[in-house]
Amino acid sequence: MLIACFDLEGVFLPEIWIEVSKITGIEGLSLTTRDIKDYDELMTHRLKLLKMHNIGIAEIHEVISKIEPVEGAREFLDWARRTCQVVILSDTFYEFADPLMEKLGRPTLFCHNLQIESGLITGYKIRIKDPKRKAVQHFHELNFSTFATGDSYNDVGMIQEANHACFFRAPENVLRDYPEYKGVNEFSELKERLSFLCK
């Protein structure tokens, strides 16, 4: 039995922080794990900017309400869930992603939580250190075979741990740093890979 593990943003959804950056005009919020490998460093940077500009969860929810899945994402997920087990492993937060899960057909999502006080985001709580890699490790302990894909540095752990893996729409710097993993750009290519693995 195969479990397919997918990143969320950059695969099925636009990068939420980039969308927040576009609407607020705060350029520094456009940085993602494609740019900064250390997740704690990245989140500290983001929270500092939110506090500086007095942006709370309500403003971010307003941005999130306008986000739509990338073209073909819902259709691919519907097909994948009929073909194998599907889990989305993300470093986003339930407080961000939950409103968007309905648009994707409510797939299983493992991610983190924000700490919110008086409408302001004051911190975050990660579920476990290196959660994507550890999730794949535990799937193996349950005797599942795994496939993993994502677009960024924070996906490398699960990609390295999986039985089968590739990058999806990853930028050149990520592909250059990990040339041993092929990069694909279309859902049709992922569908072809999963079809082969699930024969």
Q: pLDDT tens across 85-108, in order? A: 999 999 999 998 888 999 999 999
| DSSP helix/strand/coil, 7 | coil
Is residue 40 a part of any domain in this protein? no
Catalytic residue among 7, 19, 95, 155: 7
Residue 21, CA distances (Å) to 74, 98, 150, 160, 174 in order: 25, 20, 22, 31, 22
What is the distance of C-alpha 85 from the center of its chain? 17
- Please determine, for residue 147, whether its predicted confidence score (pLDDT) is greater than 80: yes
Query: At 178, is the pLDDT very low, low, confident or very high (cuts 50, 70, 90)?
Result: very high
Q: Which amino acid belongs to residue 78?
A: D
According to DSSP, the β-strands at 164-168 and 145-150 are parallel
CB 80 within 8 A of CB 107: no
- Please determine, for residue 13, whether its predicted confidence score (pLDDT) is greater than 80: yes
- Please determine, for residue 12, whether its predicted confidence score (pLDDT) is greater than 80: yes
Q: Is the pLDDT higher at 23 or at 177? A: 177
Q: pLDDT tens across 15-50, in order? A: 888 888 888 889 888 888 778 878 889 889 999 999
Catalytic residue among 9, 15, 95, 161: 9
pLDDT value of position 174: 93
- Please determine, for residue 61, whether its predicted confidence score (pLDDT) is greater than 80: yes
Q: φ, ψ for residue 168 (rounded to 5)?
A: -125, 115
Is residue 175 a part of any domain in this protein? yes
Is residue 118 a part of any domain in this protein? no
Percent of the chain with pLDDT over 70: 100
User: Residue written as tokens 């699930």?
Assistant: 198
Is residue 174 a part of any domain in this protein? yes
Which residues span the domain enclosing 150? 2-13+69-112+127-197
Instruction: State which of 52-56, 86-90, 124-128 shows the largest mean pLDDT.
Output: 86-90
Q: Is 91 a catalytic residue?
A: no
- Please determine, for residue 59, whether its predicted confidence score (pLDDT) is greater than 90: no
CB 151 within 8 A of CB 166: no
Mean pLDDT of the chain: 93
With 0-12 / 13-18 / 19 or more C-beta atoms within 10 angstroms meaning exposed / middle / buried, residue 20 is buried
Residue 90, CA distances (Å) to 33, 53, 148, 155, 197 in order: 11, 26, 12, 9, 23
The pTM (predicted TM-score) of the whole model is 0.91
Number of domain units in the chain: 1
User: What's 77's domain CATH number?
Assistant: 3.40.50.1000
Query: At 9, is the pLDDT very low, low, confident or very high (cuts 50, 70, 90)?
Result: very high
| Token pair recorded at residue 80 | 């994948």
Is residue 22 a part of any domain in this protein? no
**C-alpha–C-alpha distance, residues 38 and 55, integer Å:** 23
Q: Is 38 a catalytic residue?
A: no
pLDDT value of position 156: 96
Q: How many CA atoms lie within 13 A of 98 on its CB side?
A: 7
Is residue 25 a part of any domain in this protein? no
